[in-house]
Copies of this chain bind each other. A is one copy, B any other.
Amino acid sequence: MGIEIERKFLVRGEGWRQGEGRYLCQAYLSRDPARTVRVRIDGQQAFLTIKGLTAGATRAEFEYAIPVADAKALLSLADGPCVEKFRHRLPAGGLVWEIDEFLGANAPLVVAEIELPSEDHPFDRPDWLGEEVTQDTRYFNSALAARPYSRWQASSG
């Protein structure tokens, strides 16, 4: 069991880009925000991750490594298609920005996340950092699985 304290931001421009990132593919066995169940394939590793409700920027998180072959089979049980992205890691003063460059139906969305040791932990805001969207449930990856970014304009004007 763990607690995840994470803040999420939109990104401006390309100033964050360094290298290629690594490819992640993830899908959901439950998209219920009270009990999200995610299958993720990350190269030669795979994980089953359960998250509870978000309170502020904090969320209970449980993660288990599983065989990649299991994960591939579990993706076929998932509710909706894989959310695909390149994940870029940018170390920043003891913390790490994880920048997700979404692919497929969620392109061209780019989101930056920072995991914090406590909710009030300070962090520097790089030039490329845009609007905070920590509380905006549309940007939950589980929500992007059901309602991908490329279709937002069509339904919300």
Chain A interface (Cβ within 8 Å of chain B)? Answer: 1, 29-30, 32, 34-35, 37, 48, 50, 52, 60, 62, 64, 66-67, 69-70, 73-74, 77-79
Number of copies: 2
Identify which of B1, B37, B62, B70 contacts A1 (C-beta below 8 A). Answer: B70
> Known: A48-B64, A62-B70, A73-B62. Contact between A35 and B79, CB under 8 A?
yes
Which residues on the B side are within 8 Å of A62 (C-beta)? 66, 70, 73-74
A37–B51 Cα gap in the complex (Å)? 13
Q: Which residue of B lies closest to A63 (CB)?
A: B70
In the complex, what distance in Å separates the CA atom of A62 from the CA atom of B76? 13
Q: List 23 contacting pairs A-B, 8 Å CB cutoff, sorted by A.
A: A1-B67, A1-B69, A1-B70, A1-B73, A29-B35, A29-B37, A30-B30, A30-B32, A30-B37, A32-B79, A34-B77, A35-B77, A35-B78, A37-B37, A48-B50, A48-B64, A50-B74, A60-B77, A62-B66, A62-B70, A62-B73, A62-B74, A64-B66
Binding site secondary structure of chain A: mixed
- What are the residues of chain B within 8 A of A70 when measuring CB–CB? 1, 62
CA separation between A63 and B59, bound complex, in Å?
A: 24
How many whole Å from A122's CB to the nearest CB in chain B? 29
Q: How many Å lie between the Cα of A74 and that of B52 in the bound state?
A: 9
